[in-house]
Structure 1
Amino acid sequence: MNRLLGFGSLAVAFVATVAANAVPALDLTWLSVGDVAGAIIAQKALLAVAVLAGTYGLYQLVRHLLVQRIANKRRAHDARNVLRFGLGAVAVIGLLGVLTEQWVGVLFSLGVVGFAITFALQQPLFSLMGWIYIMVKRPYQVGDRIRIGNAKGDVIEVDFLVTTLWEINGELVSSNQPSGRVVTLPNSTVLSSEVYNFSWDKFPYVWNEISIQLSYETDLAFARQELTDVADEYLGERMAENIARYRELLEETPVELEVRDGPSVNVVQQESWVELRLRYLVHPRRGQRVKNDLYERVLERFNEHPDRVSFPVSRNR
């Protein structure tokens, strides 16, 4: 469909251009407006149609031939926006040039007008600058789970002026669950706020934890080993592969961190119990589900050994 629209629009542009060149030979005095001859009005109108139809046809063809063949939906989304922006600017300049026949004057005027509207439309311009920054630096892209400003969610659209998120958490739900609401942010936010990307393209995983409260009578060495075994059995070799990738990325930076080959357990002393925190690597969209499954498996394993594992005030928590 896009290809047919593209060829059809280019055909219209060609016909309009040919017709515009033939207009001066026609008697179109009935179209005259004041001192402007009818032939000139008809010619400019046809050239304007040619410019608009030509740029639209080119957009549809390039979108069909290049953008839609990009397998990565995120890249395709960004390429489509860049194409729309570039060809839109070409269409505006071409249209003004055709109507005024003053190409240098048009470019100069656009510069003067652009300088003037900078003061009147600061926020939209900052948002446009934010969009350019997003396209170049890639702090996030479509499909990423991010937190920016006071909003957290999955990016579903990055337009010229705004970014749209499917909200996660918020006022309605918790535990990293979708709320069903859509949040719209001006792109200028990226220039003034921290951006937390939970599903970075090079490494779409995050470290997560579950906490288990145990009494001081618990065999801590045994409990820590059980926690590690449960996580190893559940997460399997996939976590080891992701950790290897994590190390590769760390080696590309000056940061030096000790990273274990698998899940680890940290011990935190509290007033009347000991807290064991199981640390593991997980995809952010599976975080809550993995946490629920691990917690159930851990409690089941601990309840099988009441002689070695006990909970505060003698009841499960």
Structure 2
Amino acid sequence: MTHRIHHNSTYWILIFSISGLAFLGLHYALKLNFVSGIEEAVPALKKITFCGFLLMMVLLIGKLFRKFIISQIHSEGDKYNLLRVNRLMTGVFLAFVTASFMFDNLYTTVVSLGLISLILGFALQAPITSFIAWLYIVFRRPYKVGHRIQINGMRGDVIEIGYLDTKILEVSGDYVQNDRKTGRVVYFPNSLILKDQVINYSGPQIPFIWNETAIQIAYTSDLKFVEKCLMDACLNDFEKRYPKRDVKTRKRWYPEVYFRVNTFAWLEAVISYPVEPNDTTGRRTRILTGALPMLNAEPDKVQFPEGSMR
């Protein structure tokens, strides 16, 4: 895929370069009056050819920047945002060059664009606010493509950040629990981040967040044994899931077991552990399926709640 994109960019760079040189050649050829009988049209043709040359140069520079971003930026989120900015700036310069050649001078162009912007500003307040919020997202980076976020009661994985709205793949929702993907796509205007808090699951301890799982045990259980079983299950799963990460040498990722008193007649053994935001349910399941057989194998050391209050 990357090779195909690279080849496609090279193709368009070549096309824009040749087209730009062709327009520039025609522009100077018209100055030499090689063709007779079109003297009245020469000023307009010179203007058109020079405009075409500038347009090709803008497109060429845009493609060069795009090629650089794709090849040199490794973060998918940063790459996505920079490509959006590059596309926007290319469009702005294309519009400016075209408008400047439609009027007699630059002052007229600026005044005309200013009046148009003023009118559109009143008519399109909501979209403009969302566009400003998009600039905030690009430069402040409260979230990027691939991040799991929560905003205004919505939770999901960011799959697209547009100029006016953000698209997320919903997690949890009305019908699914435990951080499972629902398959539904949620759109919200970018302006929402300017008036509501954004919770980003991709915090400073990337790629992990912290989660915890509790099991209920009797007061007469061997707490040291329970702690060992939970820790072993958690560490074994971590080593299998993330073989290139050494949890034992990274204290910030080391799990911890603590105990708390339940409202009813039992204790809760709680294990706190690092997990990727999109693997919370799977990791919890693997820890439980690893720990429970060890706990059930020693009924003399571990007792579970019994009776109607269980």
Fold similarity call, TM over 0.5: yes
Residue 195 of structure 2 is matched in structure 1 by 192
2:4 corresponds to: none
Change (3 A) 1:50 1:149: farther
CA distance 1:266–1:116, change in 2 (3 Å): farther
Percent of residue pairs identical: 26
Aligned 8 A contact 2:217 2:304 in 1: yes
Corresponding position of 1:16? 23
Q: Over residues 63-113 of structure 1, what are the superposed CA-to-partner deviations in whole Å (9 max), with x where a residue is unaligned?
A: 123433322222221221111112221111111001113212222332332
Query: In structure 2, what is the Cα distance between the partners aligned to 1:289 and 1:213?
Result: 20
2:70 aligned residue: 67
Could you tell me how far apart the structure 2 residues matched to 1:240 and 1:161 are?
45
Is 1:281 the counterpart of 2:281 in the alignment? no
Is 1:264 the counterpart of 2:227 in the alignment? Answer: no
Q: Output the CA distance in 2 between the equivalents of 1:163 and 1:229.
A: 41
The 2-side partners of 1:105 and 1:296 are apart by 73
Backbone CA RMSD of aligned residues: 2.7
Cα offset, 1:241, TM superposition: 4.6
Gaps of 5+ in 2: 1-7, 240-244
Structure 1 segment 11-90 matched on structure 2, within 5 A: 11-23=18-30, 25=33, 27-28=37-38, 38-90=41-93
For the residue of structure 2 that corresponds to 1:146, the secondary structure is: strand
Which moved further from structure 2: 297-306 or 209-218? 209-218
Q: SS state of the match for residue 214, structure 2?
A: strand
Equivalent position of 2:306 in the other structure: 313
Distance (whole Å) between structure 2 residues aligned to residue 141 and residue 89 of structure 1: 24
Cα deviations by residue, 1:281-312 (Å, 9 ceiling, x for unpaired): 11212221110011112211110111221222
**Alpha-carbon shift at residue 23 of structure 1 (Å):** 4.8
Q: Given that residues 233 and 290 in structure 2 are in contact (C-alpha distance below 8 angstroms), is that contact kept between their aligned partners in structure 1? A: yes
Higher mean displacement: 221-230 or 128-137: 221-230
One-letter amino acid matched to 1:56: L
Match of 1:148 among 136, 145, 151: 151
Contact 2:24 2:53 in 1 (8 A): yes
Candidates 107, 111, 125, aligned match of 1:108? 111
User: How far apart in 1 are the matches of 2:139 and 2:76?
Assistant: 17
User: Residues of 1 paired with 2:156 and 2:140: CA distance?
Assistant: 20
Secondary structure of the 1:171 match is coil
Which of these residues, 239, 247, 256, is aligned with residue 247 of structure 2? 239
1:180 is paired with a residue whose SS is strand
Question: Could you say what secondary structure the match of 2:246 adopts?
Answer: helix
CA distance in 1 between partners of 2:159 and 2:249 (Å): 29
Gaps of 5+ in 1: 30-36, 247-260
- Counterparts in 2 of 1:195 and 1:225: CA distance versus 1, 3 Å: same
TM-score for the superposition, normalised by structure 1: 0.82
Bigger shift: 306-315 or 176-185?
306-315
* 1:2 matches 2:4: no
Q: Equivalent residue for 1:182?
A: 185
TM superposition shift of 1:21: 4.9
> What is the aligned length?
294
Contact 2:212 2:272 in 1 (8 A): yes
Task: Report if aligned partners of 1:227, 1:265 keep a CA contact under 8 Å in 2.
Answer: no
What does residue 296 of structure 2 align with?
303
State the SS of the aligned residue for 1:6. helix
Separation (CA, whole Å) in 1 of partners of 2:274 and 2:259: 15
